[in-house]
Amino acid sequence: RISSAAISERGLSEKRPQNEDSFLEMPPCGIYAVADGVGGAQAGEVASQMAVEILGEAFSNLSPSSDAETAMRAAMEQANSSIFQMAHELPQLATMATTIVALHLDGNIATIGHVGDSRLYRVDRNGNLFRETEDHSVVAEEVRAGRMTEEQADNHPSKNVISRALGAEGTVEPDLKTIMVEPGTSFLLCSDGITRHISDAEIKGVLTFGGDPNDVCEYLKNLVYERGAEDNLTAVVVKVAGTDQSVQTEEMPGLDTLETDEDTVATARTSPFDAATDDDDLLELNTGELPPLVSNEGLRPEVDEAPEPVALTAADPMNVSQAPTIEIESPQAQAAIAENFSMFGASDEAIGLENSSGIGTLGGLVAGLIIGAAIGLGVYYFVLAPKPTEPPVGGQLSEMRSANIPLSAFEENRRDVDKDPAAYITKFGSGPQDCEDHFLLGRAYLLTGDYIKARAAFTEARNRLADADPVNQKTLAADIATAFAVTNDTTVQSILKKELESTVAKPANANVTPNSNSAPVR
C-alpha cells in the first residue's frame, strides 16, 4: 500500500513573486515528480508545467509490458525538446528551462530519474537515509571532482548555477536508475527551496517519524518558513506501508526541538549527509525493527476443476463450442442406435443375415439406407453446418482511448480548432459556455490573427479557470499564460504569423541553434 501527499508554496522572497515550481502526484499510475522552473516571470512556470504534464501523459498511457526506465527517459527527452523549441520561438520565454526529479513505483520496483538539482531522498525501514540523486550543478561537480569541499560549496557564489536542465539545450542526458523497494520505505522528492533550509540529517529524522505524508509535508513547509523560505518550495512525500502498521506512531517533534548549526533565520544549504558524522544526534529517532517481508507462498488461488461435458441438443446447437464430448439425443438417432445401424447403411446384425430371403434382405437394406440418411442429415444440421456468426460481446471493436475522458475530449476539441480555426469560430463562436469553450474560442481567434477577440476570450477563460475540469486546469493555465504573451506583444504576433504561414514550407523538425552555451542561473 502506497500513500502520498504534496506541498508547493511561493515562499517569502520578494525576488520570486510567483511560484515557478510544479509537481506531479498520480498514485493510480505510480508516478510522482517535482520540477523547479528557471527563467523568471512566467517562463519558469511554463517550463516546469510542461515537464510534469508530458511525464504524466507518458505514464498514464504506459502499457504493463513497457519498461518504466525507457519510458521515463523518452518522456524527459520529449519534454526537453518541447521546452527548447518553445523557448526559441517566443522571445518572452527565451530563458526558460526546468529541473525535474521523478519516481515511478510498480510493486517493489522503483525507477528514479532526474535532471538538475531537485533531489530524491529515500529512507529504508531501518531508518537509513540515501540521497538517490546527484545535483547537476557547478559546485556539486567541483565537489565530486575533489576540487572543492562541501563547506566551500555551501558558501560559493555560484551555488545556484545548474549545469543541466530540461530546455537549456537541444538534447539532454537524464540520470536514471532502478532499485528494489521494501515495505516501510519513504521517499521525498523536493526542489532546492527545501534543501537550502533543511539538512539531510533533518530530512532523515522527519521521514523516520510515523506521520502521515500530509503531516510530513506540512511539517517541512513550516520548517522552511521558520527559516526564511528564500525560494519557491515544493515537496512530494511517498510512503510504502510496512507489514505492521503499528510501527512508528510517534508524533513528529516541534519546530523548536530541531537543532541546527545556523543562528540566522535564512540559512545556506547545508553539507550533504555523511553517515560517519554526528548529525544523527540531531534527532531522537524511532526506528524500531519492522517485521520481515510477506511471502507470496500460499497465496495462489486453487484452479477449479474442469467443467462437466455439455450435451448437444437440438434446442441448443451453439453448445458445440463448449462441449468436450457430444451426446446425440434426437429420437431418430436413438432409434438408429437401438437398431444397430451405421451412418451409411445397416450392420450385419440389423439386416439379419440368418434370413435367406432376398426380399427381406432388400427391405432391410432400404430401411437401413433411409435411417442412415436421416442420421447423416441430423448430424450435418446440428454439428457440421456453419452457424451464423454472432457479434462479439460488447459490440464492435473501437479505437483505444485514454481512461481520462475529460482530457481526451479537450484534446480532441483543441485539435479541431488547430485544423480549421475559422470553421470553429463559425460553428461555436456565438455561445461559449465554460472555461474550456472560451479558451478554444480564444485559440481559434489567435490562429486567425484576431488578437483583440483572442485576448478577450482568454481573459474570460482565465476568470473561469477555477470552474474548469481539474484534469485540464494546469494545462489551461499554462496555455493561457502563453497566449497572453502573444497577444501583448506585436513582435511576437508577427513571429507567430510568419511561423504559421511557413509551416507547410518549413520542416516541422528543423533544428534551432542555441543562442548561448551558458548554464541557467536559478
Q: Under a CB-based contact definition with an 8 Å cutoff, are residues 223 and 182 in contact?
A: no
- Residue 65 Cα distances to 110, 343, 345, 401, 499, angstroms: 16, 53, 58, 18, 40
Cell numbers describing residue 2: 502506497
pLDDT at 254: 53
Q: Which residues pair with 122 in a beta bridge?
A: 130, 187
pLDDT at 513: 38
Q: Which of 314, 279, 288 is nearest to 203 (CA)?
A: 279
Half-sphere exposure in the Cβ direction for 8 (13 Å, CA): 20
Q: Which residue has cell 538539482?
A: 117
The three-class DSSP label of residue 28 is helix
d(CA 105, CA 84): 29
pLDDT at 362: 57
CA 213, distance to chain mean position in Å, is 20
Q: Which residues pair with 31 in a beta bridge?
A: 26, 104
d(CA 38, CA 44): 4
Q: Which of 83, 165, 11, 235 is nearest to 522 (CA)?
A: 165
Cell numbers describing residue 464: 473561469
d(CA 114, CA 58): 16
Residues 6+ apart with CB under 8 A from 126: 287, 289, 290
Half-sphere exposure in the Cβ direction for 415 (13 Å, CA): 6
Over 307-347, what HEC string results?
Answer: CCCCCCECCEHHHHHCCCCCCCCCHHHHHHHHCCEECCEEC
d(CA 31, CA 26): 5
What predicted TM-score, i.e. pTM, was given to this entire model?
0.51
Q: Which residue has cell 522503483?
A: 110
- Residue 13 Cα distances to 96, 150, 433, 441, angstroms: 20, 25, 39, 37
- Residue 259 Cα distances to 75, 150, 414, angstroms: 41, 20, 53
pLDDT at 342: 42
Q: Under a CB-based contact definition with an 8 Å cutoff, are residues 241 and 1 in contact?
A: yes
Q: Under a CB-based contact definition with an 8 Å cutoff, are residues 55 and 100 in contact?
A: yes
Q: At what angle are helices 435-448 and 470-487 packed, to 10 degrees?
A: 30
- Residue 33 Cα distances to 23, 167, 169, 238, 463, angstroms: 5, 17, 21, 11, 28
d(CA 126, CA 123): 8
∠423-429-434 over CA atoms, to 5°?
125
Q: Which residues pair with 131 in a beta bridge?
A: 121
Q: Which of 333, 240, 257 is nearest to 293 (CA)?
A: 240
Cell numbers describing residue 492: 511576437
Q: What is the pLDDT along the chain (522 residues), one digit of tens a residue?
A: 899 999 999 999 888 889 999 999 999 999 999 999 988 667 899 999 999 999 999 999 999 889 999 999 999 999 999 999 999 999 889 889 999 999 999 999 999 999 999 999 999 999 999 999 999 999 999 999 999 988 888 888 888 889 999 999 999 999 999 999 999 999 999 999 999 999 999 999 999 887 899 999 999 999 999 999 999 999 999 999 876 543 343 455 555 444 433 332 222 333 333 333 333 332 233 333 333 333 333 333 333 344 444 443 334 434 433 434 334 344 444 444 444 434 334 444 443 444 444 445 555 666 666 776 667 666 555 555 555 544 444 433 333 444 455 666 777 788 888 889 888 898 888 888 888 888 898 898 888 888 888 888 888 888 888 888 887 888 888 888 888 787 777 777 777 777 777 654 544 443 333 444 445 656
The three-class DSSP label of residue 176 is strand
pLDDT at 268: 30
